[in-house]
Amino acid sequence: MSVDMSQFYQTFFDESFEGLDIMESGLLGLDVGAADAETINTVFRAAHSIKGGSATFGFTVVAEFTHLMETLLDEMRDGTRMVTEESVDYLLKSVDCLKELLTAVQNKADYNEDFVTEVKVGLERLLHGDEASSKSEADKMAESTGDVEGWLIDFKPADYLLKTGNDPVRLINELSLLGKIETTCDTDRLPFFSALEPELIYLSWHIKLEGNVSKEQINEVFEWIDDDADITLSCLSGEPEKSDSSAGQDESAVATVTPVEEPEEPEEPLTEKPASESVPVASVVEEAKKPKADSKAAASKKPAKDQSSIRVSIDKVDELINLVGELVITQSMLSQLGETVTKETIEKLQDGLGQLERNTRELQESVMRIRMLPISFAFQRFPRMVRDLSNQLGKEIELRLLGEQTELDKTVMEKIGDPLVHLVRNSVDHGIETPEEREANGKPRKGTVELNAFHQGGNIVIEITDDGKGIDKDVIFAKAVEKGVINANESLTDEQIFDLIFAPGFSTAAVVSGVSGRGVGMDVVKRNIRELGGNIEVKSEQGKGSTIIIRLPLTLAILDGQLIRVGDDTYIIPLISIIESLQVEKSQINSIGGQAELYKLRDEYLPVVRLYETFGLKPDSTDLSDGLIVIVEGEGGQAGLFVDDLLGQQQVVIKSLETNFRPVEGISGATILGDGTVALILDITGLINLSRQSSERAA
Amino acid sequence: MNEAAATQSADIDLGLNIDVEADQYLTFIMADEEYGVDILRVQEIRGWEHVTPVPNTPKYIKGVINLRGTIVPLVDLRERFGVESIPYGPTTVVIVLKVIGEDSERIMGIVVDAVADVYNIEDGKIKPAPDFGSVVSIEYVRGLASINEQMLIVLDIDKLLSSDELQAMSNS
């Protein structure tokens, strides 16, 4: 049987890592002492499929390791073992360990042997530590590979075994390949003929297997029916090997480290042959391409890990198929109409084009939705992290996750993970006080860290709130002065002070702990978020806690835009920030000190931003009543944007200005219009700030 | 001695084949001076057409254009160096270049009076430039070379168009 297994590796790894996440969240949900059977089952199933998969693919190290976990979990599931804090800790550690092993196998790299061995030994100690408790220990004892004369195998398949597609006869045949076997069949359970269900198994077997066979070999035979049969192994030699079990375990742990099967080298990817050096003068473009081809070749040498994949729910795919179906129908309708264009058919043609437009838009929306994942993917690592950290720091912390189903773009999610870890870690380490401190301050012993995600306009907002000690402005100020970030006599607003924590090399933790305090990080956090086109804001009240608010664009690619015109230039306002557009009534314009203009909209006064002024453009008219005012809302509040004209509305693909240029204040990006020209997208918040600054300067 | 031998062998190669040591340079005219840029950095040469101006940027940033889906900023070299600008005419071209910065690659265009020629110039023939009072500040000049008795100024486009530089200029 020579199926090329390597084609399934990626799927296996994807599923395994998913399984690890399930295990982790399941384990964290386990209440010590009163474990929920369903949760243990979930964890067990995840472990089981990782074990099965890795055994199939020949990742022996992983399989063996998982087997230990599985045994432990199995005992918990049967109720023969109590769920203790210790065992959960070890299982969590094993999850880490498995993660390391799997990553190592995936990248064909080395892994931390010490760590793996340590966890393995720990697991085994747990398994064998209390000998009285379980039967499966006896057979675990005999795992050493010393001389064994044979085995007695009690094989009691579950009655539904045949339905799972396994046949006991085949298994017994398989066993006979290992050595000489003697089989006795136990027919005790056999019912009367009339009560006999043909699809059930009533038999069980006692198998005597002679020969120097290791336990693993036997286990391998029963690998796939572990769940569906009762299998008891006992050593024929009669010599109890308990005494050397732990030493034997150590050896086997080390011994299993080496034989990681090298999967076949993936075929060398085809790379463009660099254009030859001696290209004549004419082929300017050809030549210029050369370094690009080289870099492409370099990039493709990276490990396969970079081919990230995404799991999409069937619903989303079905929706896409429907939409494509509609598109095909519209297309055939249009082509039919196009054959004979008369005056009568023009109206139909326009209808058809309208339909085409709608189809395209819907198709685009659902394609974009494929990239959207619930934020729980980013959140799920936190329960574990907070638990570990609070243990380590001796704090009592409750983590609350809200809005886990909020969807955001996969790319954004991947990039927001690390900054979030940093911020949560900060909250736990710097924010929440020790239980004693909290009690002394009249707070509940248990601190709370809350992660909340929700949509707001075209953004996703993530808030990290803790009810800890808050940020001490004076300490920050003093520290900033000490580090030379600011001058001692500068006066700063609260916001500016909080902003200082994002300065490079800034940490106020009195003691540098293993958790945080080295002052690497907050500046990186801010930079990462900026790179995603988002922003970060800190709110804090001393003694009560802090909130860190991150705003991110939902997706990095598409935006609903309103095209506006000022003079000869077209700009795009994100539709999401527009509240309304109106013609100016002169009586509603008020000015303050002859400078700042305010427009009275119903009961509110809004500052007027003359776009041509802020951007230095030539407008059609500087008279407010000649143009239109678009009421927009940014972070800093609302404003009326004075423009010459409103053009159409359309979805635009956002292109970055920064890739080849640099950020421009008041502009969030650019896009390409239908006629191929570039239009700039306004950043409303930045624009309002910009006009405020310029009017301040003017005043 | 060694060097001379090396150049000589290079000369022989030149006769048979194109010399590996010689790089090709695209040259262009600006304010009656001839400048060269490494041809491998040239992505495309195109005529001057409508650009979208970017507000609140230095005057020498003419705006951005759409280069097959990428937004590319254009720098007017005359204005960049404070040479009196002339109206764009039929020979005015945009040379789209790849600029390699410290941590990124950018695509940018420069607007120049006209494209001139393509030359093979050996590395050794590019001599360091004295501070000679050209319109281009010496720090952006990689060196000087003579082609047919004419002086060619070889530009260091990475320095010239690095984003730091643009950033600094915009703040002033």
pLDDT at position B95 is 94
CA distance A656 to chain B (A): 7
pLDDT at position B93 is 92
Average pLDDT rounded to a whole number, residues A121-148:
54
pLDDT at position B74 is 92
Distances (CA, A) of A392 to A122, A526, A639: 19, 27, 49
pLDDT at position A664 is 82
Average pLDDT rounded to a whole number, residues A358-365:
83
pLDDT of residue A551 exceeding 60: yes
pLDDT at position A258 is 38
Contact flag B166-A278 (C-beta cutoff 8 Å): no
pLDDT at position A288 is 40
Distance CA A144, CA A554 (A): 56
CA nearest to B23 within chain A: A277
CA distance A286 to chain B (A): 9
Contact flag B56-A676 (C-beta cutoff 8 Å): no
Strand positions, DSSP E, A498-636: 535-541, 545-553, 558-566, 569-574, 578-583, 589-592, 596-601, 604-610, 628-634
Check residues A575 and B92 and name the one with the higher pLDDT. B92
Check residues A291 and A62 and name the one with the higher pLDDT. A62
A652 in contact with B, Cβ within 8 Å: no
pLDDT at position A262 is 42
Which is nearest to B41 in space by CA: B138, B168, B142? B142
Kind of pairing between the strands at A447-456 and A407-409: unpaired
Q: Which residues does residue A463 pair with via DSSP β-bridges, in sequence order?
A: A452, A549
pLDDT of residue A254 exceeding 50: no
Active site annotation includes A430: no
SS3 string, A353-372, reads: HHHHHHHHHHHHHHHHHHCE
CA distance B122 to chain A (A): 14
pLDDT of residue B80 exceeding 80: yes
First to last CA, chain B: 50
Distance CA A382, CA A401 (A): 9
Q: Give the range among A445-454, A475-484, B21-30 with minimum mean pLDDT.
A: A475-484
Which is nearest to A420 in space by CA: A401, A405, A396? A401
B128 in contact with A, Cβ within 8 Å: no
Please state, as a whole number, how many other Cβ atoms lie within 10 Å of the Cβ of residue A96.
16
Contact flag A655-B18 (C-beta cutoff 8 Å): no
Strand positions, DSSP E, A160-297: 180-186, 204-210, 229-235
Question: pLDDT by residue (tens digit) across A614-636?
Answer: 888 888 888 877 888 899 887 66
B26 in contact with A, Cβ within 8 Å: yes
Contact flag B71-A656 (C-beta cutoff 8 Å): yes
Polymer length in residues for chain B = 172
Average pLDDT rounded to a whole number, residues A635-650:
84
Q: Give the range among A34-38, A328-332, A441-445 with minimum mean pLDDT.
A: A34-38
Q: Residue A214 contacts by C-beta under 8 Å, 6 or more apart in sequence?
A: A145, A148
- Using a CB-CB distance cutoff of 8 angstroms, which residues of chain A are in contact with residue B75? none
Query: What is the rounded average pLDDT for all residues in chain A?
Result: 75
A324 in contact with B, Cβ within 8 Å: no
Q: Residue B121 contacts by C-beta under 8 Å, 6 or more apart in sequence?
A: B22, B23, B24, B25, B36, B145, B147, B152, B154
Q: Of the segments A151-160, A210-219, A296-305, A517-526, which one has the largest average pLDDT value?
A: A151-160
CA distance B27 to chain A (A): 12
| A369 close to A402: Cβ distance less than 8 angstroms | no
pLDDT band at B166 (very low <50, low <70, confident <90, very high): low
Polymer length in residues for chain A = 699
pLDDT band at B42 (very low <50, low <70, confident <90, very high): very high
Distance CA A75, CA A225 (A): 17
pLDDT at position B12 is 45
B36 in contact with A, Cβ within 8 Å: no
Q: Residue A171 contacts by C-beta under 8 Å, 6 or more apart in sequence?
A: A155, A221, A222, A225
Which is nearest to B134 in space by CA: B158, B149, B109, B154? B154
In chain A, pLDDT over 90 holds for what percent of residues? 3
A89 in contact with B, Cβ within 8 Å: no
Distance CA A477, CA A498 (A): 9
pLDDT band at A683 (very low <50, low <70, confident <90, very high): confident
Contact flag A678-B73 (C-beta cutoff 8 Å): no
- Which of these is catalytic: A48, A75, A124, A528? A48
Question: pLDDT by residue (tens digit) across A480-523?
Answer: 787 777 777 777 777 778 877 777 666 555 444 444 444 456 77
Q: Give the range among A125-129, A395-399, B54-58 with minimum mean pLDDT.
A: A125-129
Strand positions, DSSP E, chain B: 22-30, 33-38, 42-47, 61-67, 70-76, 93-100, 105-112, 114-122, 141-147, 150-155
pLDDT band at B97 (very low <50, low <70, confident <90, very high): very high
pLDDT of residue B26 exceeding 90: yes
Average pLDDT rounded to a whole number, residues A575-604:
80
pLDDT of residue A132 exceeding 60: no
Question: pLDDT by residue (tens digit) across A591-600?
Answer: 777 667 888 8
| B64 close to B72: Cβ distance less than 8 angstroms | yes
pLDDT of residue A156 exceeding 70: yes
Tell me phi and psi for residue A635, to 5 degrees.
-65, -35
pLDDT of residue A312 exceeding 60: yes
**Amino acid residing at A240:** P
Report yes or no on whether pTM surpasses 0.90. Answer: no
Contact flag A660-B50 (C-beta cutoff 8 Å): no
Reduced to 3 states (helix: H, G, I; strand: E, B; else coil), residue A47 is helix
pLDDT at position A246 is 40
Contact flag B53-A284 (C-beta cutoff 8 Å): no
Active site annotation includes A535: no
Question: pLDDT by residue (tens digit) across B126-139?
Answer: 888 776 666 667 77
pLDDT of residue A263 exceeding 50: no
Average pLDDT rounded to a whole number, residues B70-82:
87
Question: pLDDT by residue (tens digit) across A427-462?
Answer: 888 888 888 888 888 888 888 899 999 887 667 889
| A27 close to A95: Cβ distance less than 8 angstroms | yes
| A584 close to A609: Cβ distance less than 8 angstroms | no
What are the structure tokens assigned to B38, written together?
């490494």
What are the structure tokens assigned to A473, written together?
């402005």
pLDDT of residue A357 exceeding 70: yes
pLDDT of residue A55 exceeding 90: no
Active site annotation includes A70: yes
pLDDT at position A131 is 45
pLDDT at position A457 is 64
Distance CA B38, CA A287 (A): 11
CA nearest to B71 within chain A: A657
CA distance B33 to chain A (A): 22
